[in-house]
Amino acid sequence: MADAVDQIVNQEPQLEALTMPVALKEVLKKAAIHDGLAKGLRECCRAIDKKQAYFVVLAEDTAEDQYKQLITALCKEAKIDLLTTPSNEELGEWVGLAKYDKNMKVRKHQKCSCVVVKDFGEQSDALQFILNEFESRNNKKAE
C-alpha cells in the first residue's frame, strides 16, 4: 500500500501539449496577474496608439464587424501582431472576467472581444511558443 502511494506522489504531473490556445491562456493569465492587460475597445485602442502593445487578441465571434475592422486596421498600422480566438466568452474567462462558485465552476461569464498584452509578467515556455509563432509568421510574410 505504501509503495502505491509513493509511486503516485513521485510521479511527475502530465504536461498538457503546448498548442496555441493552451499557450495563449497561460500567457494571458500571467499578464493579468501582473496587471499587463488592456481590455475593451477604448483601452485597447489607446494601448495600440501609444505602441505599448506586444500583441493583441481578438475574438472571432464579436457582434460588430466594425469593431474587428478597427482593431485589425490599428494593428496593421502599428505593426502589432494579432491573434484570434473563437469565443469571446472564453477570452473573458482567460483574462479574469468570470465569476466562479466554490467548486471552481464558471458561474457567470463576462464577454471580452479584445485584449492587448502590455506586460507579459514573467518568461515561460508558453510565452516563448507564442513569440516563436509570431517570428515564423513574420518570416513567411517577408518571403
Q: What is the CATH number of the domain that holds 64?
A: 3.30.1330.30
Confirm whether 2 is domain-assigned: no
Residues 55, 113: contact at Cβ < 8 Å? no
Write out the residue range of the structural domain in which residue 138 sits.
Answer: 17-142
Confirm whether 8 is domain-assigned: no
DSSP 8-state symbol, 102:
T
Q: Where residue 88 falls among pLDDT bands split at 50, 70, 90?
A: confident
Q: Which three cell numbers stand for residue 47?
A: 494601448
User: Total structural domains in the chain?
Assistant: 1
Q: Where residue 42 falls among pLDDT bands split at 50, 70, 90?
A: very high
User: Burial of 111 by CB count in 10 Å (0-12 exposed, 13-18 middle, 19+ buried)?
Assistant: middle
Confirm whether 113 is domain-assigned: yes
What's the whole-number mean pLDDT along residues 64-89? 90
Tell me phi and psi for residue 71, to 5 degrees: -65, -40
Confirm whether 121 is domain-assigned: yes
Confirm whether 7 is domain-assigned: no
Confirm whether 12 is domain-assigned: no
CA 125 to chain centre: 14
Confirm whether 132 is domain-assigned: yes
Alpha-carbon distance 43 to 40, whole Å? Answer: 6
Pair type for strands 106-108 and 99-100 = antiparallel
What's the whole-number mean pLDDT along residues 42-51? 91
Confirm whether 3 is domain-assigned: no
pLDDT value, residue 105: 75
Alpha-carbon distance 64 to 120, whole Å? Answer: 28
